[in-house]
Amino acid sequence: MVRILDNNLLISFYGDDFTGSTDVMESLSLNGIPAALFLDPPAPEEINNFRLKNPLDIDADNRIKAFGVAGISRSLSPDQMDKELNPIFEKICKIPTDFFHYKVCSTFDSSPVVGSIGHATEIAMKYFPSDYIPLVVGAPSLNRFCIFGNLFARAGNVTYRLDRHPTMSKHPITPMTESDLCIHLGLQTKRKIELFDIFSLQQSQKEQQKILREFTKNPGSFILFDTVDQRHLLETGKIIVKNRSEKTQLLIGSSGTEYALTAYLKDTGKIHIPDYPTEAGKQDQILIMAGSAAPTTKGQIEWCISQGFYPLRINTINAVDPQKSSEEKERIYNEAIGALNENKSVVIFSALGPDDPNVNQTKELLNKLSTAKKGVLASFQGESLRQILETSKLKRMVVAGGDTSGYVSRALEIYALEIRIPVAPGAPLCTAHSKNPSFDGLEISLKGGQNGNDRYFESILKGKKLE
């Protein structure tokens, strides 16, 4: 395997939620770093033996140069993080890479009590000790911008400061009430947080090194990099690569981190953009399992129904009720198979947007049921999907929603994913590596609720991006 820097593998990463992890895999693969996303931390021999199913023009033997683990830490308390992250990081650190990236959402979803980025950093530093901790959050390709330390995100045609963003300022778990990331992160850590702002990024290399030396007088400090456009990514990537640890350098941030690294590596000729396919061919039918109540997913469901997809709503009250769950699962199976036998694509969904009455009614029932478990609805969706696929033998499908994606992947015994084609930023069509031969090679999209335009599901059916 050709080395890019010091190791055979450039970077390993842990994504703090499932669908966000595919964002990193996509940003690496499309920029010349073939990557695989694992559901559980791989052993060194798994990495050595792993081969891509979709050959690229980068490595003759189709090896990966990066790998990641899809995680759940964004929804965990600090105590839960201790139990979850320590064994995972311990396994990852045994595989030599130049960088390890703790990947967070580009909207920095976190608080001192849920999804604490500060606490996750403390755990990571035990396994990837570094003199300083680069923090890259802005990702212009995802319409996320960091300027003078404040985070902005675009919604529609308007760019909002994050504490005024119509969605993130009202997030049900981690509402962003502060857009200054130094202040926001400062509530989660005792480490010093420095800002490498856009004026510093415009300085000469000599001046940049002087600024960096001043910042790193406090060992283990965070250094937040402003990111507004591609020039800032390039400068940030150069600083990170040139000042990396002799061992594995710890990185914290969004997929802007990967865009920064690959921008500099491309600029210096160490990597090149591969001739990536942009079309996967049209399928006669696909199956969609939508577990997201996001407004974007609602629009996608309504669009595909208008295009002739068969709509199949889950009775979520019955699905989460232990006394009625089996009967509801049988109904979903029979109705889905019937529609597929009539050569229709099927969209199975649990809600139509955040205002769907089913959302609150189902939550109320779950609170009343003493037997209810976390993820019971997502588990229902995963089991239902497996049953349908075992009969239908479909080659391509979509899952919408982070929790649902995780449960579906485990139900299908998927242990790794690689990118098939890009469709929407952070939501590519992937090829599954499964321990079950029935699902190995399945083309699957695992997308976050907010990803993609109204025609996203149609794009997956036709195997190409549709505007």
Quick one: average pLDDT of 88-97?
98
User: CA torsion, points 357, 360, 364, 366, in degrees to nearest 10?
Assistant: 100
Residues 413-432 have pLDDT tens digits of: 999 999 999 999 889 999 99
Region at 435 (left for phi over 0; alpha for psi -120 to 50; beta for the rest):
alpha
Quick one: average pLDDT of 177-198?
98
Quick one: average pLDDT of 22-48?
94
Q: Domains (ranges, CATH) in the chain?
A: 9-267 (3.40.50.10840), 287-462 (3.40.980.20)
Q: Taking 70 as the threshold, does the pLDDT of residue 374 lie above it?
A: no
Q: Taking 80 as the threshold, does the pLDDT of residue 55 lie above it?
A: no
Strand-pair category, 150-155 with 144-147: antiparallel
**Closest-CA residue to 321 (of 375, 398, 377):** 377
Quick one: average pLDDT of 135-157?
94
Quick one: average pLDDT of 7-17?
95
- pTM, entire model: 0.90
What pLDDT was estimated at residue 58?
58
The pLDDT > 70 percentage for the chain reads 97
Q: Taking 80 as the threshold, does the pLDDT of residue 459 lie above it?
A: yes
Question: Band of the pLDDT at 17, cuts 50, 70, 90?
Answer: confident
Do the beta carbons of residue 39 and residue 19 sit within 8 Å? no
Do the beta carbons of residue 279 and residue 252 sit within 8 Å? no
What pLDDT was estimated at residue 166?
87
Q: Taking 60 as the threshold, does the pLDDT of residue 60 lie above it?
A: no
Half-sphere exposure of 170 (CA within 13 A, CB side): 4
Q: Taking 80 as the threshold, does the pLDDT of residue 465 lie above it?
A: yes
Question: Band of the pLDDT at 172, cuts 50, 70, 90?
Answer: confident
Quick one: average pLDDT of 116-125?
98
Do the beta carbons of residue 381 and residue 289 sit within 8 Å? yes
Residue 3, C-beta contacts closer than 8 angstroms, at least 6 positions apart: none
What pLDDT was estimated at residue 244?
96
Give the DSSP per-residue string, 335-371: HHHHHHHTT--EEEES-SSTT-HHHHHHHHHHHH-TT
Q: Taking 90 as the threshold, does the pLDDT of residue 358 lie above it?
A: no
Quick one: average pLDDT of 64-92?
95
Per the model's pLDDT, the better-predicted residue between 244 and 172 turns out to be 244
- What is the SS3 assignment for 14? strand
Residues 245-284 have pLDDT tens digits of: 999 999 999 999 999 999 999 999 999 888 888 999 999 9
Distance CA 138, CA 141 (A): 9
